[in-house]
Chain A
Amino acid sequence: MKKWLQKGRFLSLFAMLALLLMGCGDPTLSTLIPQGEVADKQFQLMLISISIMILVLVVVFVLYAFVLLKFRKKKGDNSTPKQVEGNHMLELLWTVIPILLLIILAVPTVMRTFEFSADAKPASKNELSIKVTGHQYWWEFEYPKEELITSQELVLPADTKVHVELSSADVIHSFWIPSLAGKTDTNPGDKNKNYMWFDTGSKTDVVYKGKCAELCGASHALMDFKVRVVSKEDYKNWVAGYKAADDKSSANADGQQVFEKNCLSCHAVGQNGGNTGPSLTGFGDKDRVAGILEHDKENLKKWIKDPQEVKPGNNMPKVNLSDEEIDAVSDYLLGLKLK
Chain B
Amino acid sequence: MATHESHKKRSGLMDWLTTVDHKKIGILYLLAGGFFFLIGGLEAVLMRIQLMEPDSKIFTGELYNQLLTMHGTTMIFLAAMPIIFGFMNAIVPLQLGARDVAFPYVNAVGFWLFFFGGVLLNLSWFLGGAPEAGWTAYAPLSTVAEDTGVDFYVLGLQIAGAGTLAGGINFLVTIINMRAPGMTFMRMPLFTWASFVTSGLILFAFPALTVGFFLLMFERVFDANFFNPDMGGNILIWEHIFWIFGHPEVYILILPAFGIISEVISTFSNKRLFGYSAMVFATVLIGFLGFMVWVHHMFTVGLGPVANSIFAVATMAIAIPTGVKIFNWIFTMWGGQIRFSTAMLFAVGFVPTFVMGGVTGVMLSVPAADYQYHDSYFVVAHFHYVIVGGLILGLFSGLYYWYPRMFNRVLNETLGKWNFWLFFIGFHLTFFPQHWLGLMGMPRRVYTYMSGQDLDGANFVSTIGAILMGAGTIVLLINIIISASSKYATTKDPWDGRTLEWAMPVPTPEYNFAQTPLVRGLDALYVEKTAGNGDMTPAEPVGEIHMPNGSILPFILSLGMFISGFGFIYSNWYVAGAGLGLVLITMFLRSIIDDHGYHIHKEEVEADIKGGRA
Contacts and interface: CB of A to CB of B under 8 A. Distances in A.
B313 to A, nearest CB: 5
Provide the main secondary structure of the chain A interface.
mixed
Given A57-B355, A77-B337, A94 B324 contact: yes
Contact of B275 (A68, A77, A87, A209): A87
The 6 closest A-B pairs by CB, nearest first: A182-B371, A189-B229, A25-B440, A312-B61, A221-B446, A86-B275
A87 B272 CA distance: 13
A187 B271 CA distance: 54
A217 B454 contact: no
A42 B362 CA distance: 15
A53 interface: yes
Interface in B312-332: 312-313, 316-317, 319-320, 323-324, 326-328, 330-331
Interface in B103-150: 132-134, 138, 140-141, 144
Contacts of A113: 305, 308-309, 312, 367-368
Contacts of B371: 42, 116, 181-184
5 contacts: A31-B440, A112-B369, A182-B373, A192-B235, A218-B65
B316 A106 contact: yes
B278 interface: yes
A99 B235 CA distance: 36
From A84, A113, A190, residue with most partner B Cβ within 10 Å:
A113
Contact of A29 (B235, B305, B324, B440): B440
A218 B149 CA distance: 14
A135 interface: no
B8 to A, nearest CB: 48
Contacts of A79: 337
B274 interface: yes
A81 B269 contact: yes
B65 A217 contact: yes
A216 interface: yes
Contact of A71 (B301, B313, B337, B363): B337
B368 A116 contact: yes
A68 B352 CA distance: 12
Contacts of B590: none
Chain B facing A: main interface SS: helix
A292 interface: yes
A102 B320 contact: yes
Nearest to B233: A189
Contacts, number: 293
B229 A109 contact: no
B335 A84 contact: yes
A215 B446 CA distance: 8
Given A29-B441, A102-B316, A113-B309, A187 B335 contact: no
B612 interface: no
Interface stretch (A166-174, A235-243, A323-331): A166-174
B326 A178 contact: no
A201 B519 CA distance: 69
Interface residues of B, number: 93
A48 to B, nearest CB: 8
A109 B366 contact: yes
B320 A95 contact: yes
Given A188-B140, A221-B448, 11 more contacts: A24-B436, A57-B355, A57-B356, A61-B352, A68-B333, A71-B338, A94-B323, A116-B368, A213-B376, A214-B375, A220-B447
B275 A190 contact: no
Interface in B54-80: 60-62, 64-65
B311 to A, nearest CB: 10
A24 B440 contact: yes
B454 A105 contact: no
A178 B134 contact: no
Most B-side CB within 10 Å, residue of A72, A81, A95, A211: A81
B45 interface: no
Interface in B343-383: 348, 351-352, 355-356, 359-360, 362-363, 365-376
A247 B327 CA distance: 70
B338 A72 contact: yes
B359 A80 contact: no
A215 B317 contact: no
B463 interface: no
Contacts of B313: 106, 109-110
A219 interface: yes
A171 B144 contact: yes
B351 A64 contact: yes
Contacts of B324: 91, 94-95
A53 B365 CA distance: 13
Interface string A72-107: 111001011111111100110011001100100110
Given A25-B439, A60-B355, A211-B441, A191 B368 contact: no
Nearest to A193: B302
Contacts of A57: 355-356, 359
Interface string A1-45: 000000000000000000001001110011110000001011001
Of the listed residues B62, B134, B368, B439, the one surrounded by the most CB atoms of chain A closer than 10 A to its CB is B368
B65 A60 contact: no
Nearest to A69: B338
Contacts of A26: 440-441, 452-455
Contacts of B60: 312
A191 B229 contact: yes
B335 A82 contact: yes
Given A212-B443, A213-B376, A71 B436 contact: no
Contacts of A221: 64, 443, 445-449
Contacts of B308: 113, 117
A81 B336 contact: yes
Contacts of B340: 72
A71 B269 contact: yes
B141 A30 contact: no
A194 B372 contact: no
Contacts of A144: none
A31 B320 contact: no
B337 A105 contact: no
A176 interface: yes
B368 A109 contact: yes
A114 B369 contact: no
Given A25-B454, A29-B453, A217-B141, A105 B234 contact: no
Given A71-B337, A73-B338, A187 B301 contact: yes
A7 to B, nearest CB: 22
B385 interface: no
Contacts of A86: 274-278, 328
Given A30-B440, A81-B270, A187-B301, A71 B312 contact: no
A95 B363 CA distance: 19
Given A50-B363, A102-B320, A192 B374 contact: no
B235 A172 contact: yes
Interface string B447-462: 1111011110000000
Query: Which residue, of B61, B140, B301, B312, has the highest number of chain A Cβ atoms within 10 A?
Result: B61
Interface string A140-167: 0000000000000000000000000010
A83 B447 CA distance: 53
A216 B368 contact: no
B305 A118 contact: yes
Nearest to A41: B368
B88 to A, nearest CB: 26
Interface in B424-479: 436, 439-441, 443-450, 452-455
A73 B339 contact: yes
B305 A192 contact: no
B490 interface: no
Interface string A294-313: 00000000000000000011
A84 to B, nearest CB: 6
A73 B335 CA distance: 10
Contacts of B573: none
A199 interface: no
